[in-house]
């Protein structure tokens, strides 16, 4: 049937809503693509000084990853959509965030949206990935490093818990792996700065990266 394809297109369009840009625009703050790391993401919005705008960006960018996965889980069955389509729409929303059709295909790094997708797959998995991010961020004070470590561990947690908490679905596993790899690739400048000791720390008053 054509339903999974329609759902994927809808998820991609939803993912294309770059909330870092939208939230800052609505709140009358400057465009995050013009300062700091230039990344339209919650971390860079935080560099504007507005915690409220950063939290709102994180929340909305996560919701757009979670909603399509959740919707397929709850309403998909009568249309023949299950795990495979959940994986598909999750990746579609993630790709929308990275390459948004509404913003000249210049999007973010996918951390918050991937978190939303992971929460949609399993609240426990989301909790584990989120806790990983928080622990790394707490000890090292680098948002990017925390994101990279959490992204590597998310598929690992999913596989470890399979057979214990659930049976790993190959398509969900693939979706997590693809998202983790694209997320890491989008952090290549961050990785270089981390290695050079030039990455900006969370809460630092410096202008940020670059
Ligand atoms: O501006 O380049 P920057 O320093 O801003 O930003 C680097 C940063 C970009 O990401 C963000 C979003 C911040 C979200 C914080 C809470 C995240 C909890 C993450 C769990 C990640 C799960 C990934 C699963 C992958 C399959 O990195």
pLDDT tens, position by position, for the chain (210 residues)?
899 999 999 999 999 999 999 999 999 999 999 999 999 999 999 999 999 999 999 999 999 999 999 999 999 988 898 999 999 999 999 999 999 999 999 999 999 999 999 999 999 999 999 999 999 999 999 999 999 999 999 999 999 988 777 788 999 999 999 999 999 999 999 999 999 999 999 987 554 444
User: Would residue 141 be called left, alpha or beta, if left means φ above 0 and alpha means ψ between -120 and 50 degrees?
Assistant: left
Is the beta carbon of 144 within 6 A of some atom in ligand 1? yes
Q: Is the CB of 149 under 6 A from ligand 1?
A: no
Contact indicator for 159, 125 with CB cutoff of 8 Å: no
Query: What phi and psi values does residue 194 have, to the nearest 5 degrees?
Result: -60, -45
**Whole-structure pTM value:** 0.95
The interface pTM score, or ipTM, of the predicted complex is: 0.95
Joined together, the tokens standing for residue 36 give 């700091």
What is the Å distance from ligand 1's center to 166 Cα?
Answer: 26
């Amino acid at each position: 049937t054509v339903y999974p394809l329609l759902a994927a297109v809808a998820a991609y369009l939803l993912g294309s809503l770059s909330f870092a840009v939208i939230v800052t625009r609505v709140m009358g703050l400057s465009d995050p693509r013009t300062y700091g790391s230039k990344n339209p993401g919650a971390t860079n919005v935080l560099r504007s000084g507005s915690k409220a705008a950063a939290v709102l960006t994180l929340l909305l960018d996560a919701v757009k990853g979670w909603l399509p996965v959740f919707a397929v889980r709850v309403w998909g069955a009568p249309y023949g959509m299950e795990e495979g389509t959940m994986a598909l729409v999750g990746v579609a929303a993630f790709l929308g965030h990275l390459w948004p059709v509404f913003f000249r295909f210049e999007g973010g790094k996918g951390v918050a949206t991937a978190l939303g997708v992971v929460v949609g797959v399993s609240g426990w998995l989301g909790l584990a990935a989120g806790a990983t991010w928080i622990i790394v961020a707490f000890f090292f004070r680098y948002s990017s490093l925390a994101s990279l470590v959490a992204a590597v561990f998310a598929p690992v947690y999913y596989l470890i818990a399979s057979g214990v908490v659930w049976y790993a679905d190959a398509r969900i596993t693939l979706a997590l792996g693809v998202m983790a790899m694209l997320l890491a690739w989008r952090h290549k400048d961050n990785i270089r700065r981390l290695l050079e000791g030039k990455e900006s720390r969370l809460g630092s008053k410096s202008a940020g990266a670059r």
